Structure 1
Amino acid sequence: MVNRLHRRPEWQFFAVLPRADSKLATTWWVLLLARGVLPAVFAIAMGWLIGAVQHSTALAAPLTLMGTTFILLQVLTPMHQAVSANLGSRVSAYLNDKLAEACVGPPGIGHLEDPSLSEDLTVAREFDHGQTGPPMYLNVDFVAGSLVELVGGLASAIVLFGYTWWAPLLLVAAWTATHWLLRESGVWKDRNTAEVRSAQRHANYAYELAVGPDPAKELRLFGLADWTVQRFTERRRRLFELQYAATRLRERPMIWSLLIIAVANGVVFWSLGAAAIDGRLELDRLVVFAQVAIGVGMIAFGGLNWALDGAAAPVAAVQRLEPAMAPAGALSPGTLRVPGGAVELDIRGLSFRYPHADRPVFDGLDLKIPAGSSLAVVGQNGAGKTTLAKLLCRLYDPDSGTIRVDGSDLRQLDVDAWRGRVAAVFQDFLKLELPLRDNVAPAGAPEADIRAALADAGAADLADLDTRLATGYGDGTDLSGGQWQRVALARALCAVRQGAGLVLLDEPTAQLDVRGEAAIFDRILTATRDVTTILISHRFSTVRHADRICVLEDGHVVELGSHDELMALGGRYRTMFDLQAQRFTAEVDEEGLSYDTL
């Protein structure tokens, strides 16, 4: 029972408040209780004042209590709202910190690509952007207002015990019944179904298309602006319909609720009236008990359930992600350190399947890469080229088989030590809103190495090293896609100068023109001649420069050899090469420069 209670999202929400800020949480609860009790105190003060007038006694004390209570009612509300907003912001910061730690903590990246975690990740990432629900600072205020009413109703019921024992019990039971009847009247528990989350995800995607800078060009070019807005409004409307359907009030429970409330209040107020008429209840006490009998109604079904639903969902999502991400992104521990220099890679019987995937990417892959050599990996999309790079970087561990580095199983090597020996450029490379210097060497490096790496990447005159690569800053600048790719290449080449023994290049020059790509790759090969280099590319003008070329198909090596050997073989590589070469039949380009790349 206790464990089930602790697992409820509502409990998790209240439990996270003191973790976010214990002092603010304590102040929040104190103000909440004070605001809830004050209406009952005001009713007592009013009855006291009426009694003093009736019996001609001193009015100072009851007037002071009434005035103080009235002022506190006016003052505590904005104070509580301010505390709620601040506490909500602290809760947001706490959840974002926990999410960031859970995302970056595991050494692998399986937890970030696991489809079973994607829905919770969406809720956890977007909860404070106003798209999946109100921001947390508003949610905390909504919850506070609803709890104030609940406390006020209970405080009124306690005062009503001064009249008779059965009256508060009857009213509390009647008003509490609305929570059960109206909550159960809708598909409340289905408000967080896969259908609702899917509609939410589609609405968010359409919204990001509409407001993001990257898709803006093609939205306008292809006339998709109106379509995007229409898609967003349709998806949002569908989401609202599903959410409303999950909280709608049906006719029969509403009638039952009204009937129960009417009967219970009718009985209590009839009893109060009869007692007053019979002289058993004086006017001052009648005023008090009548007010608190009305005040018990504050515990009725209201906004608390909706507020808690919105506030608890992201908390529960983060709480679920924390324990789930650690094993999903875990890697087997390693303790061995990697020797210096170029590394030899020996892949034997490698098998790997992504979490929840239908089929494996690799099922018995064999490949050997001598130290200090360059290998190009080609193949159709989905052949496993990028997956191989991820496995070599130890972003995943294989399901079976081995990757040996200088004779040692990669899983036995210390993860951080191994990654310190690997330099990689992925298709979705990192763009830091930092100076050029920090983009090339995030961990720091001598200025001479940074400038040499930029020169090797063809970016020597790109910008000053202290220029921030972001337009959102007064002294910042943005780069073209090709310029950014040169910066990413410089980052890898700088790592080589700092001791990396393996260079992985996954489509490293895809945003450069063919001629520029060939020139850059010649520089790369020169800069990495003392290390092991693996190149993944669709451009055969670059691929042909590698010592050997590996053709992957269905997770297996189907051809392996030099460019000349594979061309002579007349197999898959020759076919792909000839198809691409047909696009470069012209002798010169539009600038009059020769195509000297094939």
Structure 2
Amino acid sequence: MGDFIRALWRAHRGLAAAWWILLLAQAILPAAFAYTTGALISATEPTTPLIGLATVFLLMQILAPLHAQVGTNLGDHLSSRLQDRLITAATGPAGIAHLESTALAGELAVARDFDLGISGPPLALSMGMIAGSLVEALAGAGQAILLATYHWWAGATLAVAWLATHWLLKDAGVWHRDTEEVQYAQRRAEYTYRLAVDPPAGKEIRLFGLSDWTVRQFVHNRRKLVDLRWQATKLRQRGVGWTLALLTAANGVVFWTLAMDTTGLGQKATYAQAAIGTAALAFGGLNWALPPAIEAVRAALRLDRSMAEVGGLPTGSRMPTGTDLRFRNVRFSYPNADKPVLDGLDLTIPAGTSLAVVGLNGAGKTTLVKLICRLYDPTGGTVEADGADLKTLDLDHWRSKVTAVFQDFIRYQLPLRDNVAPTGASEEDIRTSLNATEAEFTGLDTVLSKGYDDGTDLSGGQWQRIALARALCAVRQGAGIVVLDEPTAQLDIKGETEAFTRFLEQTRGCTTILVSHRFGTVRQADRICVLDNGKVAELGTHDELMAANGKYRTMFDLQAARFRND
């Protein structure tokens, strides 16, 4: 609860202060209404108490919607702050292990869910529900205090009786949201929801007639999530029986005493209303909307720490002086993996040369690329640049010397110039890089998305040329190591060969590492490395490896045979 209150204050101090002030004001008004009603009944001159009663009534009508609006705005600010916190937690760590962690994926799904409306109301709505329950609880306490001015034991008796319902019926509201089973169900529900509403799956869903199937999957996953929570909610008949007996006895004693008392009608009206209003203690307090809100805050704080721990990488202070790379007995395993991806890898990549990396799926090609970019650190051995362990180098400076085109490169919904140079570059560098890849473009300020006015979209091949231009622009800005992980998979064979030939010409003098399945492109590299079982199985030029009649020759002949047959 403390984390939640502090989060409200940090989200917007002015709105948080107004929210609490209005909450307290609304809590006082029911007792004031009961008091002014009794005063009006007892008064010989009704003008003053009538004005007081009208004022209280008017405030009750005004403050409720005002409080709701303040709560909505405060919930929006809190939501924005939590989203900022989650984005910072996800993008802050230097590595990417936290983004590929199965354990953190479940926590992230729960943390993101607070504003999607899948498992609970968004915070903008929750704040109103939370406020309503707290107002009721405080209003009940206020009226119990008013009743205590009649007889101290009367206020105490009803307050204890109504508060006891929270303990007697506590098993009726058990809601387990943080179990592994619930987290998994929540992830599946969110996944099928995104499958239905996000564009990437839209084509196949419609082409293969999967609309009904998608709806059924979402309904199934959503229902399973609801059922898990329903199973965790219990209602015990014994608790209900004891509750009814206690409330009947407490209210019976108080109202019987009030009926037998000789006090005036106005006072009886006041205390009767106070006795009835004390019941709000049972219905107010920490309602069902508060735990999800508290959990959202805690999840954001927890992920901030856990993601930093899992995805963090140490950084040194040394500056890289060259681009000569060497892997010394490198081992690497992903969390919870059965066996290492790299197991004793030894490889040297001289500065200014090109190396192609080939191998079967799972051989460790992409992992090798991640280690060069220092998105991970090896679990054993060292990756060195000019003899210095990458861990001892300044991380930001090292990455400024590396540029890459990944197979799943980003397509920014931004102008063309920002797609080629996201961090900025001169117009000459941008145009030169685009021309070198023969990328077709119109204006540099054209947004590459049809979702914007005058925006446009590109084919897969055109997008890959933009990605290559992005890497070339980075080279022109000082990058000396170029990593290409299946960079031209959406180009035809001729286009890929021509693109890579031009790319090698533009990056002459750089250290280039190419991962590709197409041997027509691979053979252009200075040397070719064949990975197998996490080690270097073969290393040499195309001609040397063909003459060796090993794994490379087998893979090359199999691929070449397909094209000869065609």
- TM-score w.r.t. the length of structure 2 is 0.97
Shift of 1:301: 4.2
Would you say 1:524 and 2:510 are equivalent positions? no
Cα gap change, 1:455/1:303 in structure 2, threshold over 3 Å: closer, same or farther?
farther
Instruction: Name the amino acid aligned to 1:337.
Output: M
Q: What is residue 283 of structure 1 aligned with on the other side?
A: 265
Would you say 1:22 and 2:13 are equivalent positions? yes
Q: What is residue 368 of structure 1 aligned with on the other side?
A: 348
1:84-483 maps to which residues of 2 (within 5 A)?
A: 84-185=71-172, 188-275=174-261, 279=262, 281-301=263-283, 304-339=286-321, 343-459=323-439, 461-483=440-462
Instruction: Name the amino acid aligned to 1:147.
Output: L
**Cα contact 2:329–2:382 (8 A) shared by 1:** yes
Counterpart-to-counterpart distance in 1, 2:506 and 2:470: 13
**Cα contact 2:136–2:283 (8 A) shared by 1:** no
Q: What is residue 24 of structure 2 aligned with on the other side?
A: 33
**Cα contact 1:566–1:574 (8 A) shared by 2:** yes
SS of the equivalent of 1:388 reads helix
Counterpart-to-counterpart distance in 1, 2:371 and 2:295: 35
Instruction: Name the amino acid aligned to 2:384.
Output: R
Instruction: Name the amino acid aligned to 1:116.
Output: A
Counterpart-to-counterpart distance in 1, 2:13 and 2:467: 44
Shift of 1:586: 5.0
| Superposed CA offset, 1:202-232 (max 9, x none) | 1111111111211111122222221111111
Cα gap change, 1:152/1:303 in structure 2, threshold over 3 Å: closer, same or farther?
closer
Counterpart-to-counterpart distance in 2, 1:560 and 1:180: 72
Structure 1 unpaired stretches of 5+: 1-9, 588-598
Q: What is residue 2 of structure 2 aligned with on the other side?
A: 11
**Cα contact 1:120–1:318 (8 A) shared by 2:** no
SS of the equivalent of 1:451 reads helix
Instruction: Name the amino acid aligned to 1:110.
Output: A
Q: Cα RMSD between the aligned structures?
A: 1.6
Counterpart-to-counterpart distance in 1, 2:540 and 2:247: 85
Counterpart-to-counterpart distance in 2, 1:227 and 1:115: 26
Shift of 1:256: 2.7
Counterpart-to-counterpart distance in 2, 1:261 and 1:481: 71
Instruction: Name the amino acid aligned to 2:222.
Output: R
Counterpart-to-counterpart distance in 2, 1:114 and 1:25: 36
Q: What is residue 533 of structure 1 aligned with on the other side?
A: 512
Cα gap change, 1:192/1:183 in structure 2, threshold over 3 Å: closer, same or farther?
farther
Shift of 1:257: 2.2
Shift of 1:189: 4.8
Moved more, 151-160 or 328-337: 328-337
**Cα contact 1:142–1:304 (8 A) shared by 2:** no
Q: What is residue 562 of structure 1 aligned with on the other side?
A: 541
Q: What is residue 590 of structure 1 aligned with on the other side?
A: none
The count of aligned residue pairs is 566
**Identity, % of aligned positions:** 56
| Superposed CA offset, 1:497-553 (max 9, x none) | 111110001110111112211111111111112100001112222111111111112
Shift of 1:134: 1.1
**Cα contact 2:171–2:233 (8 A) shared by 1:** no
| Superposed CA offset, 1:341-392 (max 9, x none) | xx11011011222234343222321110011111111112222111111111
Counterpart-to-counterpart distance in 2, 1:580 and 1:181: 73
Q: What is residue 492 of structure 1 aligned with on the other side?
A: 471
Cα gap change, 1:253/1:444 in structure 2, threshold over 3 Å: closer, same or farther?
same
SS of the equivalent of 1:89 reads helix
Q: What is residue 59 of structure 2 aligned with on the other side?
A: 72
Counterpart-to-counterpart distance in 1, 2:111 and 2:105: 10
Moved more, 568-577 or 202-211: 568-577
Cα gap change, 1:302/1:162 in structure 2, threshold over 3 Å: closer, same or farther?
closer
Shift of 1:248: 4.4
**Cα contact 2:421–2:430 (8 A) shared by 1:** yes
Shift of 1:303: 7.9
Counterpart-to-counterpart distance in 2, 1:174 and 1:512: 75
SS of the equivalent of 1:424 reads strand
**Cα contact 1:440–1:490 (8 A) shared by 2:** yes
Shift of 1:20: 0.4
Counterpart-to-counterpart distance in 2, 1:354 and 1:19: 38
Cα gap change, 1:93/1:124 in structure 2, threshold over 3 Å: closer, same or farther?
same
SS of the equivalent of 2:169 reads helix
Moved more, 576-585 or 151-160: 576-585
Shift of 1:68: 0.7
Moved more, 523-532 or 578-587: 578-587
Counterpart-to-counterpart distance in 2, 1:240 and 1:422: 48
SS of the equivalent of 1:192 reads coil
Instruction: Name the amino acid aligned to 1:225.
Output: S
Instruction: Name the amino acid aligned to 1:435.
Output: P
Counterpart-to-counterpart distance in 2, 1:12 and 1:358: 39
Q: What is residue 575 of structure 1 aligned with on the other side?
A: 554
SS of the equivalent of 2:287 reads helix
Q: What is residue 594 of structure 1 aligned with on the other side?
A: none
Moved more, 286-295 or 108-117: 108-117
Q: What is residue 6 of structure 1 aligned with on the other side?
A: none
Would you say 1:51 and 2:42 are equivalent positions? yes
SS of the equivalent of 2:328 reads strand
- TM-score w.r.t. the length of structure 1 is 0.92
**Cα contact 2:345–2:534 (8 A) shared by 1:** yes
Instruction: Name the amino acid aligned to 2:19.
Output: W
Counterpart-to-counterpart distance in 2, 1:125 and 1:454: 38
Instruction: Name the amino acid aligned to 1:219.
Output: I
Shift of 1:125: 2.5
Cα gap change, 1:127/1:578 in structure 2, threshold over 3 Å: closer, same or farther?
farther
Shift of 1:403: 1.1
**Cα contact 1:185–1:253 (8 A) shared by 2:** no
Counterpart-to-counterpart distance in 2, 1:438 and 1:154: 59
Cα gap change, 1:586/1:456 in structure 2, threshold over 3 Å: closer, same or farther?
farther
Counterpart-to-counterpart distance in 1, 2:531 and 2:239: 64
**Cα contact 1:191–1:246 (8 A) shared by 2:** no
Counterpart-to-counterpart distance in 2, 1:358 and 1:269: 71
Counterpart-to-counterpart distance in 2, 1:512 and 1:262: 80
Counterpart-to-counterpart distance in 1, 2:315 and 2:350: 26
Shift of 1:423: 0.7
Cα gap change, 1:18/1:226 in structure 2, threshold over 3 Å: closer, same or farther?
same
